[in-house]
Structure 1
Amino acid sequence: MRWATVNPRKYLTPQPRLFVRNHTSTPVIDKSAWRLRVFGDGLATPRPATDPLTLSFRDLRRLPHTRVLSVHECTGNGRSFFASQQGTPAAGTAWTLGAVGSVVWEGVRLRDLLKEVGLGDDAVSIQATGLDPSYVSGGVDYGPVRRPFPVSKALRDAVLAWSANDEELLPDHGYPLRLVLPGWVGIGSIKWLGSLEVSNTQLTSPWNTKWYRMTGPTYSTTEPPLTVNPVRSAWELASGATLRAGRRHTLTGRAWSGAAPIKKVNVSLDGGQSWQRADLRDEDGRGAGVATVRGHGWTRFSVEWDRPAAGSYQLLARATDTDGRTQPLASPFNDQGYFFDAVVRHPVTVA
């Protein structure tokens, strides 16, 4: 997604504009033949992988439906700024800040499914596995993309979604069914969901041990897997945009957090020499047109720039959520360039 193309009057991100991050290729799936496999020793009646419970799409549609608003974001969003802003390049796709979007997901709550199939009292971990082809890198076959998450997250707000913004999921976004973990790293929201393993022990995969955890010279070898997304913000303006001198400009942007609603956004129009409070909309986590849906949505902000003189400027935005988390001025480096949450310096020219 390119922030310069975002319509300030529209809250949600259309599916065709939502970023795509795949480890392999998008599978072609026949919904009528698709089945969700559920197994593991964490079920009330344990089932081995060779004899799973199977649910059709029709079976899922019989369960209570829900609609959940959440910001969906790649863990590497903002990665390019490790190089361009901090001089410490990191491996991976050189995202700016467009690997994110705000979506209303519709489907069934995972807790309702677990109630239906029977959850064991000792269950602690669930592993979601996709139906995309196995991921092969450096001659090593790591198997299909999969990642575990705690039962507590499953019971709190996890969703098995079949639509985004009232439209059937597009193939690149997980058709016919995907997992959604609101507020958590995008890799956890497994697309093309094929199975759920429910376990009495902590499950692991390369996607929470080898990748999607912090590694680098300042991190230990026992860093936990990444879960809750940090606080970030972005201007709805092209980097390097040119604005007319002597005119009044309304500058807009969006801020979001994986943990809590946005409380405030401070902005600077002079590279950090002075700061002011931006005006906020949607700070309660509800967006225009989706007033009945509460969740981890983003907050739109705006500031009036009154007749700036000609010259080069840097726009800065610094968001704080209601949990007290604030964007830092610099992000600690890690090898994979995850969680760049620092204030981004956004250049513009006034002429």
Structure 2
Amino acid sequence: MSLSVDRRSLLALPAVGAAGLAAARLGALVPPAQAASPAILKPTPPATFIDFGTNAEMRFSAVDPRRYLTPQPRLFVRNHTRTPQIDPATYRLRLHGDGLRRPEGVSLGLDELRRRFRVVELTSVHECTGNGRSFFATQQGTPAPGTQWTLGAVGTVRWQGVRLRDVLRWAGVRPDAVSIQAVGLDDDYIDKGENLGRVRRAFPVAKALDDALLAWGANGRPLLPDHGFPLRLVLPGWVGIASIKWLGELEVARRELTSPWNTRWYNIGGPLTVNPVRSAWELPWEAALPAGRSVVLTGRSWSGAAPIARVEISTDGGTTWRAARLRRDDARSADHGNGWTRWSHVWRSPRAGRHELLARATDRLGRTQPDVAAANPNGYFFDAVVRHPVVVG
């Protein structure tokens, strides 16, 4: 069922205060002299998050095995600068470029988007490209710079919005258009003294015409500011950086567009697109488990390319493997086809001592998690089987 988020609910978001909205210009941040908020606006309590300052990781040990979708308050945050506060009443999305029949372009407000186009829902895994980066150092001895995520820079979200293809066709996309640059409305990003402008990244028109979404809602509620309020791009299955938050501009071009976010970063021999296969246990690191009794272990696996076909479990560090039990309502549901799959395994009478638990997933395209992830300078795409330590006693 399609769900429309009305303007009243958008304006009622508690994290966007009245003073902040009054001070915000069209597509602008609250002026620095009046801004008192940190880089992340929502609470990130230590029980549920690892706080990295501008970024925050969801602790997988805090995931509720009974809940499929990731609530926005629990979803990881990846910011390049800080979360902006934007007035939804004056917000406009601009589309322009020589890939449109009218290069000067058009602009749309939130009410126009909801009124002109069919509202849809889409469920997908949303994941940072660097998810798992810390394991390059701790598991493979090949450290990489950047936020040292474990596996919690991920979540599954049911987005609400409109298809980008509908908007592009209305705006007059040309048949020879090839590339679209999405530009955010956060602060300019400064790298080692160099101002690189606002966060932006190009993607192919083919992806835009396939399953791309312009989203204003998540899990039936308006987006939180930290997750892109009032409007964000969603490219299902693709690296998180491609789903630009606080979307202000889409440049449609008849040539390949580039930015530092697909050349300098998020690039391994070419711009990164589809996320790999990964798995995570819903357990604390070094979890204490009882000896001599059967223990039900749970976790999740996901892939950017296809639903999960099978998950194999090892409780002896990889010597032997057994099939995990998949939640078939996840694996078979068309609505959850872009989401993750929950699974469980009964560990019968584990002996006392230290153990390493391993989970290895394969998607329906035959992509399987390797034993070793390919090292790269920025620590992207750690997709190897993670060795999760537990203590039985």
Question: Partner residue of 1:322?
Answer: 364
Would the aligned equivalents of 1:133 and 1:144 in 2 still touch at CA under 8 Å? yes
CA offsets 1:172-201 (integer angstroms, 9 cap, x no match): 000000000000000000000000000000
Cα distance in 2 between the residues matched to 1:295 and 1:109:
17
1:168-187 correspondence to structure 2 within 5 Å: 168-187=222-241
Contact preservation (8 Å) 1:183, 1:258: yes
- 1:193 corresponds to which letter in structure 2? L
Structure 1: distance between partners of 2:203 and 2:330: 27
Report if the CA contact (8 A) 1:263-1:283 is conserved: no
Other structure's SS at 1:206 match = coil
Q: Match for residue 56 of structure 1?
A: 109
Contact 1:262–1:283 (Cα < 8 Å) also in 2: no
Aligned residue for 1:143?
Answer: 197
Partner residue in 2 for 1:159: 213
Is the contact made by 2:330 and 2:340 (CA closer than 8 Å) also made in structure 1?
no
State the identity as a percent: 64
Tell me the equivalent position of 2:66: 9
Is residue 35–residue 56 contact of structure 1 (8 Å, CA) maintained in 2?
A: yes
Change (3 A) 1:282 1:135: farther
Does the 8 Å contact 1:68/1:295 carry over to 2?
A: no
Q: Does 1:342 align with 2:384?
A: yes
The residue type paired with residue 66 of structure 2 is: R
Q: Following superposition of structure 1 onto structure 2, how do residues 58-137 of structure 1 map, counting pairs within 5 Å?
A: 58-62=111-115, 63-137=117-191
- The corresponding residue for 1:220 is none
Corresponding position of 1:219: none
Structure 1 stretches of at least 4 aligned residues deviating more than 4 Å after TM superposition: 282-286
Offset of residue 246 of structure 1: 1.2
Contact 1:257–1:298 (CA<8 Å) still a contact in 2?
A: yes
> Does the CA contact (< 8 Å) of 1:86 and 1:330 recur in 2?
yes
Output the CA distance in 2 between the equivalents of 1:282 and 1:31: 40
Q: How far is 1:248 from its partner?
A: 1.1
2:310 equivalent among 243, 257, 264: 264
Cross-structure match for 1:238: 284
C-alpha distance in structure 2 between counterparts of 1:200 and 1:176, whole Å: 28
d(CA) in 1 for partners of 2:178 and 2:299?
39
2:216 and 2:229 in contact (8 A); partners too:
yes
**Structure 2 gaps, min length 5:** 1-57
| Aligned equivalents of 1:121, 1:314: Cα separation in 2 | 53
* Aligned-partner Cα distance in 2 for 1:344–1:284: 22
In structure 2, what is the equivalent of residue 217 of structure 1? none
The Cα of 1:283 is off from its aligned counterpart by: 6.9
SS at match of 1:156: coil
- Tell me, what secondary structure is at the counterpart of 1:270? coil
Aligned with 1:303: secondary structure? strand
Which residue of the partner structure matches residue 41 of structure 2? Answer: none
- Partners of 2:330 and 2:342 within 8 A in 1: no
Q: Is 1:226–2:279 an aligned residue pair?
A: no
Q: How many residues align?
A: 335
Secondary structure at the residue paired with 2:313?
A: strand
Q: Higher relative contact order at CA 8 Å, sep ≥6: structure 1 or structure 2?
A: 1
Distance in 1, Cα, partners of 2:302 & 2:334: 19
Q: Distance in 2 between matches of 1:128 and 1:261?
A: 27
- What secondary structure, in the 3-state scheme, does the structure 1 residue paired with 2:252 have? strand
Aligned to 2:96: 39
- Kept in 2: contact 1:70–1:296 (CA 8 A): yes
Q: Structure 1: state its 5+ residue gaps.
A: 215-222
> Distance between the aligned counterparts of 1:60 and 1:231, measured in 2?
34
Tell whether the 8 Å contact from 1:67 to 1:293 is kept in structure 2 after alignment. no
Matches of 1:166 and 1:292, distance apart in 2: 19
Give per-residue Cα distances to partners, 1:36-80, cap 9 Å, x unaligned.
011000012222xxxx31111111011101100000000000000
Question: In 2, distance between residues paired with 1:128 and 1:113?
Answer: 14
Contact 1:285–1:296 (8 Å) recurs in 2: no
- The one-letter code sitting in structure 1 at the alignment partner of 2:91 is W
Name the SS of the counterpart of 1:263 in structure 2. Answer: strand
Scaled by the length of structure 1, the TM-score of the pair is 0.94
What is the TM-score normalised by the length of structure 2? Answer: 0.84
Kindly provide the CA deviation profile for residues 242-263 of structure 1, in whole angstroms up to 9, marking residues without a partner as x: 0011111110000000000100
Change beyond 3 A, Cα 1:189–1:282: farther
The whole-number CA distance in structure 2 between the counterparts of 1:142 and 1:156 is 30
Counterpart residue type for residue 181 of structure 2: Q
The counterpart of 1:250, out of the listed 293, 296, 308, is 296
The answer to whether the 8 Å contact 1:45/1:120 transfers is no
Q: Is 2:354 the counterpart of 1:312?
A: yes
Displacement after TM superposition at 1:2 (Å): 0.7
2 CA distance for matches of 1:274 and 1:292?
32
